[in-house]
Amino acid sequence: MREGIVGIRRSRMPFMISVFSVAIALLVVGVGVLSVDNGLQYIGDMQANYDLEIFLKNDISTIDSRELADIINEYPGILRMEYLSKEDAAALYNAEFGEDVLSLLDDNPLPSSFRITFEEDYRSAGYIHSFIQSVNILNGVDEVIFKKDLFEKVQGIMKLIYTLATAGLFMIILSTVFLTANNLRLMILARYEFIETIRLLGASDFMIKSPFFLEGGILGFLGASIAVLAIILMEISLAYYHIIDLPVRIMNHPELILGLLVFGVSLSSLGVLKAVRRMLRFVA
């Protein structure tokens, strides 16, 4: 352990360069993950606004409409169900068009309705389609309106973004691993003289590897911490200057912070270990 810390002190410059390269790599990964999360969340929120509207027959009684509400509420996946009476509909018409429908006609022709928002897991075109089919045949239901085309378009975009983002993230992580491993190899190469000498003086492989493993862990932890701090600063700046209001923030996701730290520590310590192991093959 002491040798690991002494090693860091002795080669401060290459160590710091490696810390910053790990930090930049993890910053790219972190920003990538958050961008994908935010994009998906944003589109998901947009999709949540595509409510389904069930218009009831004009002659339905209040008791029947309550019974109908109970039946519909039994369907799985309903997040919210809002009842709009004929009077509510008239008020909405008034608010939207500035005219009182009752003054134009003797009777209120607007139907009462239910506005339904689905839970995230049930927002699929397939489920909503079957839901519409089964609700359509219920007594008292006049018409079910759903902006299916737009919904499917958004869902298609979401799927595309998800696929591209996953592939992109995979590429980013892969290049991060490659670049970090290369950089760590250079850092270890600079210590060739030390490794060769202690090997000749009788140090075992374990004795040589363990301080480097520790050094790699510390390096990864520092790099990941810098990356997390930088992301938090970026989020604060975006909010402060009102550039964008991010729905997903790293501060609200300790699992993402932990993930970056674990990724940083394992990437660096294993990268260093691999570089040392590779060097030991060439050292006496």
Partner 1 sequence: MIQFKNVHLRFDSGISLRDLNFDIKSDEFVYLFGDSGSGKSSILKMIYMDFFPNSGSVSVFDQDSSYTNRGTIAKIRQRIGMVFQDFKLLADRDIYSNIALALEIQGMKTDEARRKVFATADDLGLRTKLPLYPHELSGGEQQRVALARALVISPDILLVDEPTAHLDETASAVVTEWIWKAHNRGASVVFATHNEQLIKRDPARTITMETGQIILDRE
Q: For residue 204, which phi and psi values (nearest 5 degrees)?
A: -80, 165
**Number of chain positions touching partner 1 (CB under 8 A):** 17
Q: Does 1 bind partner 1 (CB under 8 A)?
A: no
**Residue 86 or 191 with smaller CB distance to partner 1:** 191
For the segment 142-201, give every residue that binds partner 1 (CB under 8 A).
193-194, 196-201
Q: Does 205 bind partner 1 (CB under 8 A)?
A: yes
CB of 25 to partner 1, least distance (A): 27
Q: Does 210 bind partner 1 (CB under 8 A)?
A: no
**Residue 167 or 200 with smaller CB distance to partner 1:** 200
Instruction: From 116-124, 152-160, 204-212, 233-241, give the range in contact with partner 1 by CB under 8 A.
Output: 204-212
CB of 185 to partner 1, least distance (A): 20
Cα–Cα dist 278/198, whole Å = 16
Q: Does 10 bind partner 1 (CB under 8 A)?
A: yes
Among 150, 207, 233, 244, binds partner 1 (CB under 8 A): 207
**Residue 139 or 197 with smaller CB distance to partner 1:** 197
CB of 191 to partner 1, least distance (A): 10
CB of 200 to partner 1, least distance (A): 6
Q: For residue 109, which phi and psi values (nearest 5 degrees)?
A: -85, -10
CB of 11 to partner 1, least distance (A): 7
Contacts of 249 (CB under 8 A, 6+ apart): 34, 235
Q: Does 204 bind partner 1 (CB under 8 A)?
A: yes
**Residue 31 or 198 with smaller CB distance to partner 1:** 198
Kindly state the greatest CA–CA separation across the chain. 104
Query: Applying CB under 8 A, which residues contact partner 1?
Result: 3, 10-11, 193-194, 196-205, 207, 284
